[in-house]
Chains A and B, each alone.
Chain A
Amino acid sequence: MRMMHLAWGLLVAACATGARQAARAPDSMPATPEPAAMAAPRRPFTFPAADSATALHLLNRLTFGPRPGDIARVQRLGIQRWLDEQLDPARISDPVQGAVRERYAEAFAPPAELYAEYPPPNLARRPPAPPGRPDAPPDSMQIARFQQNGRRLGGAVVMATLARHAGSERQLQEVMTDFWFNHFNVFIGKQADRWLTGDYVERAIRAHALGRFEDLLKAVAHHPAMLVYLDNAQSVAPGSQPPALARRILARMPDEVQRRMPTGINENYGRELLELHTLGVDGGYTQQDVQNVARILTGWSTVGPGLPGGAPLGGRLAGRRPFTFEFHDWAHDRGEKFVLGQVFPAGHMQDEGERLLTLLALHPSTARHIAHKLCERFVADEAPDGCVDHATAAYLRTHGDIAAVLRAIVESPDFWAGTVRRTKVKSPLEFVVSAMRSTGATPDSTPRLAGVLQVLGQPLFQQQVPTGYPETQEMWVNSGALLGRMNVAMGIASGRLPGLTVDLDPTVPLTTDKDALVARVNATILGGQASPNTLRVIRQQIDDLADPTMARTMAVGLALGSPEFQKQ
Chain B
Amino acid sequence: MARCDCEQADGISRRVFVKAGALGLVSLGLDPLFLGRAAYALRAPGHKTGGKVLVCVFQRGAVDGLSMIVPHAEAAYYRGRGRIAIGRPGSGDGAAIDLDGHFGLHPRLASLKPLWDAHSLAIVQAVGSPDTTRSHFDAQDYMESGTPGVKSTRDGWLNRALEHRAEHRATPFRGVAFSQQLPRALQGSAPTLAIPDLAAFGIRAPAGARDRLTAAFEALYGGGETGIIASTAAESFEAVQLLKRADPTRYAPEHAAQYPRGPFARAMQQVAQLIKSDLGMEIAFVDVGGWDTHINQGSGAQGQLALRLDEFGGALAAFNQDLGDRMADVVVLTMSEFGRTVAENGNSGTDHGHATAMMVMGGGVRGGRVAGRWPGLEPDQLYEQRDLAVTTDFRDLFAEVATRHLGIAQTDAVFPGYTASPDRFPGVLE
Task: Tell me if B152 and A483 are in contact (CB < 8 A).
Answer: no
CB-CB < 8 A to B141: which residues of A? 464-465
B126 to chain A, nearest CB (A): 22
Task: Tell me if A256 and B346 are in contact (CB < 8 A).
Answer: yes
Task: Tell me if A479 and B223 are in contact (CB < 8 A).
Answer: no
A454 within 8 A of B: yes
Nearest A residue (CB) for B137:
A464
Give the distance in Å from the alpha carbon of A425 to the alpha carbon of B232 in the complex: 13
A4 within 8 A of B: yes
Nearest A residue (CB) for B230:
A563
B281 to chain A, nearest CB (A): 13
Give the distance in Å from the alpha carbon of A275 to the alpha carbon of B150 in the complex: 12
A478-B221 contact in complex given A190-B137, A454-B181, A537-B216, C-beta closer than 8 Å: no
A and B contact pairs by CB, cutoff 8 A, 27 listed: A122-B295, A255-B346, A259-B386, A272-B151, A425-B229, A455-B180, A457-B182, A464-B141, A473-B229, A475-B187, A478-B192, A478-B193, A478-B232, A479-B193, A480-B194, A480-B196, A480-B236, A482-B232, A487-B203, A490-B204, A490-B205, A531-B223, A531-B224, A533-B223, A537-B216, A558-B216, A561-B217
CB-CB < 8 A to A386: which residues of B? none
Task: Tell me if A563 and B180 are in contact (CB < 8 A).
Answer: no
A350 to chain B, nearest CB (A): 26
CB-CB < 8 A to B193: which residues of A? 478-480
Q: Identify B345's interface contact among A256, A478, A563, CB under 8 A.
A: A256
Number of A residues, CB within 8 Å of B: 50
B220 within 8 A of A: yes
A486 within 8 A of B: yes
Interface positions of B from 265 to 316, Cβ below 8 Å from A: 294-295
B379 to chain A, nearest CB (A): 14
B1 within 8 A of A: yes
Give the distance in Å from the alpha carbon of A258 to the alpha carbon of B251 in the complex: 54
Give the interface centre of A190, A466, A490, A563 by most chain B CB atoms within 10 Å.
Answer: A563
Interface digits, A253-280 against B, CB 8 Å rule (1 contact, 0 not)? Answer: 0111001000000000000100100000
CB-CB < 8 A to B220: which residues of A? 533-534, 537, 558, 561-563
Interface digits, A455-496 against B, CB 8 Å rule (1 contact, 0 not)? Answer: 101010000111100100111011111110011001000000
Interface digits, B176-194 against A, CB 8 Å rule (1 contact, 0 not)? Answer: 0000111000011101111
Give the distance in Å from the alpha carbon of A231 to the alpha carbon of B133 in the complex: 12
Give the distance in Å from the alpha carbon of A541 to the alpha carbon of B203 in the complex: 16
Task: Tell me if B236 and A482 are in contact (CB < 8 A).
Answer: yes
Give the distance in Å from the alpha carbon of A412 to the alpha carbon of B377 in the complex: 65
Interface digits, A1-21 against B, CB 8 Å rule (1 contact, 0 not)? Answer: 100100000000000000000
Interface digits, A176-212 against B, CB 8 Å rule (1 contact, 0 not)? Answer: 0000000000010010000000000000000000000
A563-B239 contact in complex given A275-B152, A466-B151, A479-B193, C-beta closer than 8 Å: no
Number of B residues, CB within 8 Å of A: 54
A287 to chain B, nearest CB (A): 10
Nearest A residue (CB) for B8:
A474
A53 within 8 A of B: no
A482-B229 contact in complex given A122-B295, A455-B180, A558-B220, C-beta closer than 8 Å: yes
Q: Which 5 A-B pairs have the closest CB atoms?
A: A533-B223, A479-B236, A480-B194, A254-B346, A537-B219
Task: Tell me if A490 and B229 are in contact (CB < 8 A).
Answer: no
A474-B1 contact in complex given A490-B213, A558-B216, A561-B217, C-beta closer than 8 Å: no
Give the distance in Å from the alpha carbon of A425 to the alpha carbon of B151 in the complex: 25
Interface digits, B158-186 against A, CB 8 Å rule (1 contact, 0 not)? Answer: 00000000000000100000001110000
B20 to chain A, nearest CB (A): 14
B3 within 8 A of A: yes
Task: Tell me if B346 and A533 are in contact (CB < 8 A).
Answer: no
